[in-house]
Amino acid sequence: MAYRVCFVCTGNICRSPMAESVFRARVAEAGLEALVEVDSAGTGSWHEGEPADPRTVSVLDEHGYDGDHIARQFQPSWFSRLDLVIALDTGHLKALRRLAPTEEEARKVRLLRSYDPAADDDLDVPDPYYGQRGGFEECLVMVEAASAGLLTAVREELGGGVA
């Protein structure tokens, strides 16, 4: 059975699809595609059915990541099939933990930047939506920095011996 990770931001068109794409690439580089499933969603339905923000797609493409994506809203029923729910900021963390049907499922929710040992006290990935393209580049740097630590944590969950 695959280990399932879902990244969650507000509308599922900027930060979470970026994190999904970067982490999927890390999983593939590690040869773990058969063992780890990667997904993303938003806390709200505003952009459901839409592609990722063009600035997200542009930044991903420029850095060699896949930008294909269709936004959707996170559903509380998903907790039962997910192993890890990765929030992109503390607002998402709180909202997701409130949505969780049980305490055990609420413990599945973690902040992405908590996996970056170099992150400062502010573990939020800022929302680039209302800013310029540079904010999307900054978001990518934060996502990439946290992805290595997240991959290490997922490997440990898979049994540590996974090469």
DSSP symbol at 57: H
pLDDT digits (tens, 9 = 90+) for 26-40: 999 999 999 999 999
What's the Cα-to-Cα distance from 44 to each of 82, 116, 150, rounded to whole Å? Answer: 19, 26, 25
pLDDT cut 70: percent of the chain above it: 98
Active-site option among 6, 9, 14, 139: 9
Q: What is the CATH number of domain 3-157?
A: 3.40.50.2300
Is position 107 annotated as part of the catalytic site?
no
Q: Region 133-158: what's the mean pLDDT? A: 97
- Catalytic-residue membership of 110: no
Residues β-bridged to residue 7: 40, 86
What span, in angstroms and rounded, lies between the C-alpha atoms of 66 and 56? Answer: 10
Whole-model pTM: value is 0.96
Long-range contacts of 120-124 (CB under 8 A, 24+ apart): 123/89, 123/90, 124/88, 124/89, 124/90
Catalytic residue among 4, 83, 97, 127: 127
Residue 127 has pLDDT above 70, yes or no: yes
Instruction: Check residues 11 and 161 and name the one with the higher pLDDT.
Output: 11
d(CA 83, CA 68): 24
Confidence of residue 162 (pLDDT cuts 50, 70, 90): low
Please indicate whether residue 14 is annotated as part of the active site: no
Please pick, among 6, 14, 15, 113, the residue that the annotation labels catalytic. Answer: 15
